[in-house]
A = this chain, B = another copy of it.
Amino acid sequence: AKGTRALPYGGVPTFLSAPYRPVGPEETTFGDLQVALVGVPMDLGVTNRSGSRFGPRALRTIERIGPYNHVLDCMPVGELTAADVGDVPFRSRYDLEGCHADIESHFRRFLEQGVATLAVGGDHSITHPILRAVGREAPVGLIHIDAHCDTGGAFDGTKFHHGGPFRNAVLDGVLDPTRTIQIGIRGAAEYLWEFSTDSGMTVIHAEEFAAMGPEAVIARAREVVGDGPTYLSFDIDSLDPAFAPGTGTPEVGGLSTREAQQLLRGLKGLNIVAGDVVEVAPQYDATANTAHAGAQMLFEILSLMVFSPSVGGRKD
């Protein structure tokens, strides 16, 4: 007998079993953190099924993600000073634009102290205010893995819905479209996403992903974003519904988790400055597979941060 291991099902759950370090509204002493894992339980931007407001709780509850990433050979929660810092405090659960403002200011608190952020949504509209915080000084690049381009314009009286964050970010000058690649695109709304190609983004559809293979896509992604600061956004609906049914706008014909892992792991060494996993809606997740996949992707992104020049900076 060699001692004892923690129960996977014991205690209060946190993202990736990271230490729990809630950050209060006035606290300013968290600058020693390298990465803040932040919950963003907000889904007012959805076009169809709501539910991702329960996404952060769902990902926290998944057992047994980590500690070791044997492909990237790292222990991200151990190697980085990372913590679950709790959720964005919202002034109102009824005000989409207000929530966006709260998100932006909350993420700025971390980023301005040099703490990288890794967000758990919530719907994809949250990425717009996060990008406003991340790219506040200069537009960043983007690796965006999703079934949808999310570069649509306003409708139903708003542009802040979850179908438009990347258009908004470009127009706000915080995202560089020429350093943006969108991977896994499919579904029946292509006609809404002209902005992607018009603005110079690189779009890899799901069927192109299948034809090219993951390695060619990785090469293309590395080429597009280069060495500059890059945001990594993982929408769980990039995965096929067989792998991730628990989401609001599923699209058949998507990636497998194995492909997604291979893709993410191929991004080692890029200058990832922040990221997110969004759109897990546990109400539609009969097996918890979706939350499980989301937590795994969160782990992969945190692993990449070990090797990101602007976060962990590990060389090999």
Q: How far is the CA of A6 from the CA of B147 in the complex (A)?
A: 20
Q: How far is the CA of A67 from the CA of B190 in the complex (A)?
A: 10
Assuming the contacts A13-B12, A188-B65, A190-B68, asked whether A155 and B3 have C-beta atoms less than 8 A apart, the reply is: yes
User: A288: which B residues are within 8 A, CB to CB?
Assistant: 245, 284
Judged by a CB distance under 8 angstroms, whether A91 is at the interface is yes
Judged by a CB distance under 8 angstroms, whether A199 is at the interface is no
Judged by a CB distance under 8 angstroms, whether A241 is at the interface is yes
CB distance from A237 to the nearest CB of B (A): 11
Contact between B250 and A258, CB atoms less than 8 A apart? no
For chain A, residues 17 to 73, give those with C-beta under 8 angstroms from any C-beta of chain B: 20, 22, 39, 41, 43-45, 47-51, 53-54, 56-57, 60-61, 63-71
Partner of A242, one of B65, B86, B155, B289: B289
Partner of A11, one of B39, B156, B207, B287: B39
For chain A, residues 128 to 159, give those with C-beta under 8 angstroms from any C-beta of chain B: 153-159
Contact between A10 and B241, CB atoms less than 8 A apart? no
User: A292: which B residues are within 8 A, CB to CB?
Assistant: 241, 250, 252
User: A158: which B residues are within 8 A, CB to CB?
Assistant: 1, 92, 94-95
User: A48: which B residues are within 8 A, CB to CB?
Assistant: 8-9, 63-64
User: A20: which B residues are within 8 A, CB to CB?
Assistant: 12, 20
For chain A, residues 143 to 197, give those with C-beta under 8 angstroms from any C-beta of chain B: 153-161, 186-191
CB distance from A58 to the nearest CB of B (A): 9
User: A276: which B residues are within 8 A, CB to CB?
Assistant: none
Partner of A10, one of B8, B9, B87, B92: B87
Contact between B296 and A252, CB atoms less than 8 A apart? yes
Contact between A4 and B188, CB atoms less than 8 A apart? no
For chain A, residues 72 to 112, give those with C-beta under 8 angstroms from any C-beta of chain B: 84, 86-87, 90-96, 98
User: A87: which B residues are within 8 A, CB to CB?
Assistant: 7, 10-11
Contact between A7 and B242, CB atoms less than 8 A apart? no
Instruction: Find the residue from A8, A67, A87 having the highest chain B CB count within 10 A.
Output: A8
User: A71: which B residues are within 8 A, CB to CB?
Assistant: 205, 207
Judged by a CB distance under 8 angstroms, whether A315 is at the interface is no
Contact between B44 and A94, CB atoms less than 8 A apart? yes
Contact between A7 and B93, CB atoms less than 8 A apart? yes
Contact between B240 and A258, CB atoms less than 8 A apart? yes
Partner of A1, one of B8, B41, B156, B285: B156
Q: How far is the CA of A292 from the CA of B49 in the complex (A)?
A: 14
Q: What are 22 A-B pairs at a CB distance below 8 A?
A: A4-B90, A8-B47, A9-B49, A12-B13, A13-B57, A13-B60, A20-B20, A64-B187, A68-B188, A68-B189, A92-B156, A94-B161, A95-B157, A95-B158, A188-B299, A207-B261, A243-B252, A245-B289, A246-B287, A252-B261, A252-B296, A286-B287
